[in-house]
Amino acid sequence: MELPFFQKKKPENPIEESSGPDTGFYLDLRPRLIKLPEFKAKETINVRYPLIPPFAFAHIFWDTKSNELLYFVEEPPLDATEKELLRLVQLGLEEMINVSFVKSKKINLIIQYFERNVQSILIELGAKITKRTYHKVMYYIYRNSVGLNEIEPFLSDYYIEDIECNGIGFPIYIVHRLFGNMRTNVLFTSNQEMSDFVDKLAQKAGRYISYAKPLLDGTLPDGSRVNATYTQEVTTRGPTFTIRKFTKEPWTPIHLIKFKTASPELFAYLWIAIQFKFNVMSVGETGSGKTTFLNAIASFIPPEARVCSIEDTRELNLSHSNWLPAVTRSGFGIPNLIGGRYGEITLFDLLRETFRQNPDYVIVGEVRGEETFVLFQGMASGHPSFSTFHAASVKTLVRRLATPPINLSASLIETLDIILVQTHIKTPEKSIRRVKELQEVKSVKEGVMGDVSSNELFMWDPVKDELKYHNKSVIFEKIMKRTGMKKQDLEREFKVRSKILEAMAAQNITNFKDVNDLINQYYKNPEAVRQRFNIK
């Protein structure tokens, strides 16, 4: 079918109002943090901010018809002619695409490559289009070829934590750092479109998904965690996906102090406990910030220490040069009698090998099965270890560790020194994450599930929204017995480190590299750091 923008004669320059090779097309892909105004009532919210300027914007507003807060992605509209042109150009690009260019990390090279090919296709089509149409077509070409299609703008929004698609014909929901769960105007309308998109997610994550293996768990190139399903037999509404976004630069203890997730005193305590090689576990419900907190306190590991980390999907990001990160690998073929696949590498396999690699510290992203036994065996043999676990309280943690499928003995559970309980508070007015309590494990009774004797060192007061420090630490007493350090010296060290962290927060020193450099410098030259912040 001949379209109205086709010309009988192929033009030398397919773009009107363009006198040369410079078409004026650009994408501003720099990461940005837009400071949003504070709102006392959701009904008054009406904000718009850029995601991929000058083409994609977020519009958050209160909808009076549905009585809910909505998140709309605003992109340049295409008329029927422009949609057909975009379809034809994309078909042409499929024949010309060079994968090595698309995998390039230099965005300007990718855009130049696409522009050359798009202009060649327009000439072949005999199309003469305006610069405005050309810019819109180029934006959608980039979004659909290099980016992640309709959800690419979401990935550019600093405030979005989760992107959730529940099936075909259902709107995508997002979790906003400030405004919580919101329905969006983005949805997938066909099974083929949805299946193709889940395929794309799998390719981006370097994983395999199919009708035979319809579950996907992986990490996208930007570090976001993706979980998806492929068929209606697994999820009745059709293929689904959930993406957990992570900031490109990990949050530091200073970020969490400024967010009031925890206090300078709590981080100073953990700094000392980690230096003296005590075992730490962070527990809480899904989305409470366990992994973020774990990554933050890893900054307190001495700079020269050998660190081995193990994860299902890569989420941790440490500044240490002597760091060995490892991730699990899916297997191939039909599962054997015990459910394993050929070539599969599990957390259990990696953890078992890790203790043969002379680690000073071991970090496991999350434990939930047989690998927990190996982790606690490592703790018992003197390898300081950190991990996360899904549990709502200290008693629930101990009960789950002592019962199937983990079945740890009380003596092994006692090797865990510090338990942090984290919580995510969601109300119509706010969405906050807090360290609810910090307990020091003293003893665990054999045969009595959940019966643990612990010292409550920090407790969150929800009324005042602050952490209370009870100033009698079992861990500090153990440090004094191990090292012979005097009580007043240890308490002074605790106060000095608290003041340093407090001063860093006051001076807004939050950059990942700057924070880690200061902590490392304190290990090597504490007097210089104290002088910098005028701490005696």
The pTM of the full predicted model, rounded to 2 decimals, is 0.81
- How high is the mean pLDDT of the chain? 90
Q: What's the average model confidence in pLDDT over 65-78?
A: 96
| CA 220 to mean position of chain CA atoms | 10
Average pLDDT over residues 38-43: 86
34 vs 335, residue with greater confidence:
34
Task: Give, as one character, the DSSP assignment of residue 129.
Answer: B
Contact 216, 222 (CB under 8 A): no
Residue 98: per-residue pLDDT: 60
Task: Return the amino acid letter for 479.
Answer: I
Domain ranges within the chain, ordered by starting residue: 42-244, 253-301+311-320+361-532
pLDDT one-digit tens code per residue, 110-155? 888 889 889 999 998 888 899 999 999 999 999 998 899 999 999 9
pLDDT for position 328? 87
Check: CB of residue 330 under 8 Å from CB of residue 341: yes
Two tokens, residue 23: 């078409």
Q: What is the torsion angle, in degrees rounded to the nearest 10, for the CA atoms of residue 10, residue 15, residue 16 and residue 21? A: -110
pLDDT band at 5 (very low <50, low <70, confident <90, very high): very low
Tokens at residue 536, please? 């005696």
Residue type, 181: N
Do residues 255 and 296 lie in contact, with contact meaning Cβ atoms separated by under 8 Å?
A: yes
Average pLDDT over residues 29-45: 86
Distance CA(434)–CA(462), nearest Å, equals 9
CB of 61 within 8 A of CB of 44? no
Helices and strands (DSSP H and E) totals, the chain: 17, 18
Fold of 253-301+311-320+361-532: Rossmann fold (3.40.50)
* pLDDT tens per residue across span 470-497: 989 999 999 999 999 999 999 999 999 9
Domains 42-244 and 253-301+311-320+361-532 in one fold: no
CB burial of 218-228 (b: ≥16 within 10 Å; e: otherwise) equals: bbbeebbbbeb
| Among 186, 167, 311, 158, residue whose Cα is nearest residue 245 | 158
Q: Confidence class of residue 104 from pLDDT cuts 50, 70 and 90? A: low
407/279 Cα distance (integer angstroms): 19
The tokens of 110 are what? Answer: 């990718």
Looking at the domain covering 42-244, what would its CATH class be?
Answer: alpha beta
- At 195-205, the pLDDT tens digits run 999 999 999 99
pLDDT of residue 213: 86
Using only C-alpha atoms, the chain has a radius of gyration, in whole angstroms, of: 27
pLDDT digits (tens, 9 = 90+) for 263-320: 999 999 999 999 999 999 999 998 899 999 999 999 999 999 999 999 988 889 999 9
Q: Residue 138 — left, alpha, or beta (φ > 0 → left; ψ -120 to 50 → alpha)? A: alpha
Torsion-angle region of residue 339: left (phi > 0), alpha (psi -120 to 50) or beta? left
User: Residue 512 is encoded by which pair of tokens?
Assistant: 């990942």
Whether the per-residue pLDDT at 99 is higher than 90: the answer is no
For residues 327 and 216, give the distance between their C-alpha atoms in angstroms, rounded to a whole number.
15
Judge contact between 164 and 154, C-beta under 8 A: no
d(CA 495, CA 489): 10
Structure tokens at 297: 């306190």
Position 449 confidence tier, pLDDT thresholds 50, 70, 90: low
Map tokens 């976001």 to a residue: 224
Q: Residue 136's Cα: distance from chain center in Å?
A: 31
Confidence of residue 249 (pLDDT cuts 50, 70, 90): confident
Say which DSSP state 43 is in.
G
Name residues whose C-beta falls within 8 Å of residue 112's C-beta, 6 or more positions apart in sequence: none
In this prediction, residue 6 has a pLDDT band, given cuts at 50, 70 and 90, of very low
Beta strands per DSSP E along 380-515: 385-390, 418-426, 431-444, 452-461, 466-469
Query: Phi and psi at residue 60, in whole multiples of 5°?
Result: -110, 125
Separation between Cα atoms, residue 396 and residue 433, nearest integer Å: 20
- Whose tokens are 């890569």? That residue is 314
Determine which of 180-194, 370-384, 416-430 has the lowest per-residue pLDDT on average.
Answer: 416-430
What are the tens digits of pLDDT across the range 113-124? 889 889 999 998
pLDDT value at residue 151 = 96
Q: How far apart are CA 450 and CA 431, in angstroms?
A: 30
Q: What is the pLDDT of residue 334?
A: 62
Distance CA 256, CA 290 (A): 12
Which pLDDT does position 485 carry in this prediction? 95
To 5 degrees, how large is the angle CA 49–CA 55–CA 56? 45
> What residues are paired with 386 via a beta bridge?
280, 363
Strands 385-390 and 280-284, bridge-based pairing: parallel
> What pLDDT does 260 receive?
95
How is residue 103 written in tokens? 């995998």
